[in-house]
Amino acid sequence: MQTLTFVKREVPYWTTGTVATPAGPVFRISTEWTRADTWGMVRSRTGAYRLNYAVTPGLYAIGNPADDSDVFVTANYKLTFDMLRRELKGMNAWVLVLDTKSINVWCAAGKGTFGADELIKRIADAKLDAVVKHRRIILPQLGAVGVNASVVQKKTGFRVIFGPVQACDIPAYVQAGYKKTKEMGTIRFSMLDRLVLTPMEINPAMKKFPWVAGGILLIFGLQPQGLLFKQAWLGGLPFLILALLAVFAGALVTPVFLPFVPFRSFAIKGWIVGVLSVFLALRFFEPVSTRDPILLIVAYLLFPALSSYIALQFTGSTTFTGMSGVKKELRIGIPLYIGAACLSLLLMTVYKLKEWGFV
Amino acid sequence: MKYLSNVTTLKYTRDTCTGCGRCVEVCPQRVFEMRDKRAAITDRDQCMECGACALNCEFGAITVNSGVGCAAAIINSMVTGGPPTCDCSDNSAGCCG
């Protein structure tokens, strides 16, 4: 029966044949990336494609593994899986893929899907105790957030070793006799690491942008005689540009230049970059709306707050922010954001009343 | 890079530690190191409350109120009343990469 279902399964393009195991044949996986893998990475790094970017869980082979070969455990997010198999080039090893619902190791460990229960189940399903004669499995270090190593050992007999944080350190780690250097055990978060995360900051923010733009145009276009397109466009355009800049200040500039922007608080970092962008924009573009001091105040009140709020969202993508810290930022930040928004609305009302000649 | 100081809920009891070294092995922020055959905290403010150390400490020497340090998740939990999770991905393509 096992073989029958196996044959029916579609053969993924990243496999090169099969390897026989006591639990039936398993796919041998290629350690090369094709154009499809690169394109998949781009798509999953920029949008919703990531939600279904998955590999079938279970046991796979790298090269020609034997019963003394290492077992590497990973998530079934295809990008995670791809990064691992690329680094295992030239090795003979087993790869055990857990069902993490196409989520990376760290996030899945946080949710519990990359966890002891799932690992124990997969070890049993793959008959790992018959596939290999040793009793050790190597997990990515960040999997420790979800996997209690002692529970796994008690239930399966396999000793969990937490390997390097990043797959690219695996060859050096194996060469060194399974010894981790301090660097291998620490998360790095370079400018490039941060840059590749920004599309997922910009895209969600830009999805809400039409609402902000509509609101701005409505406020400026509203006249005693009705909605005037010319007023909306001429008056609203500078604010539209400022809003767009605020999005990029919070979602792109702040994340990329994170360590260089002063203060530890993300809200303050985002606010500083926001103020700077309003200042520079008003200097270089000299938008017409600055003729009124009320509009100038609103510009400095509202847009840095928007940038600050968006920058705060980046805490979800960083490697070093904790829940208690983010909660503290929100406790202080949210009342200030609401305050800034309400005050801006009040000032705009005064501005409109002045414009209409009521004040 | 460091986040806010004096906010972490990490607690470590040296008396309960057996010196197995799991916490040093799992902490991605190098909060722990071995000193005199027992674990010791190097810099508390490096802790991001991921919870790997507490989960893997067989002897209960470490506790931490772990959770996701993600503004969107925490705002969601404030609105819905549930715990903060990464499950904000229904239509916005999610926060977890």
Q: Where are the domains of chain B?
A: 11-80
- Contact between chains at A110 and B7 (C-beta distance less than 8 A): no
SS3 content of chain B, % helix, strand, coil (to 5): 25, 10, 60
Q: Do A144 and B78 touch (CB under 8 A)?
A: no
Total number of residues shown for chain B: 97
Q: What is the ipTM of this complex?
A: 0.86
- The residue in chain B having the minimum alpha-carbon distance to the alpha carbon of residue A79 is B97
Q: What is the pTM of this model?
A: 0.85
Contact call for A165 and B50, based on CB within 8 A: no
A42, A139, A326, A329, best to mutate vs chain B, most B CBs in 10 Å: A326
Q: Looking at the domain covering B11-80, what would its CATH class be?
A: alpha beta
Strand B11-12 with B32-35, pairing: unpaired
Residues of B in contact with A202 (CB under 8 A): none
Which of A335, A329, A194, A51 minimizes the C-alpha distance to B88? A51
What phi, psi does A93 have (nearest 5°)?
-155, 165
pLDDT in tens, A26-66: 999 999 999 999 999 999 998 888 888 999 999 999 999 99
Of A144, A150, A324, the CB nearest to B8: A324
CB atoms near residue A173 (< 10 Å): 21
Contact B30 A313 (CB under 8 A): no
Q: Which domains, ranges and CATH numbers included, belong to chain A?
A: 2-188 (3.40.50.11600), 192-355 (no CATH)
pLDDT of residue A29: 96
Q: Does the pLDDT of residue B91 top 50, yes or no?
A: no
pLDDT value at B94 more than 60: no
Give the nearest partner residue to A150 out of B51, B58, B71, using CB atoms.
Answer: B58
| CA distances from residue B43 to A307, B14, B30, B46, B57 in whole angstroms, order as listed | 31, 15, 8, 6, 19
Task: Report the pLDDT value the prediction gives residue B73, as an integer from 0 to 100.
Answer: 85
> What was the pLDDT predicted at B21?
95
A103 with A111: CB under 8 angstroms? yes
Report the alpha-carbon angle A248-A250-A252, nearest 5: 50
Q: For residues A52 and A34, give the distance between their C-alpha atoms in angstroms, rounded to a whole number.
A: 19
How far apart are the CA of B35 and the nearest CA of chain A, in angstroms? 16
Pairwise CA distance, residues A202 & A210, whole Å? 14
Contact yes or no for B75 and A326 at CB 8 A: no
Contact A185 B52 (CB under 8 A): no
Please say if the pLDDT value at position A7 is more than 70.
no
What pLDDT shows up at residue A128?
97
Q: What is the pLDDT of residue B95?
A: 43
Nearest C-alpha in A relative to B50: A145
Minimum mean pLDDT among A271-275, A298-302, B93-97: which range? B93-97
Q: How far is A309 from chain B (nearest CA, A)?
A: 9
Alpha carbons A242 and A238: distance in angstroms, whole number: 6
For helices A293-313 and B71-80, angle between their N-to-C axes, nearest 10 degrees: 90
Look at residue A26 in the predicted model and tell me its pLDDT: 96
Of A163-167, A219-223, A282-286, A314-318, which gets the smallest average pLDDT?
A: A282-286
Residues of A in contact with B66 (CB under 8 A): 145, 323
Alpha carbon of A314: minimum distance to chain B alpha carbons (Å): 7
Query: What gap in Å lies between CA A21 and CA A264, rounded to an integer?
Result: 52
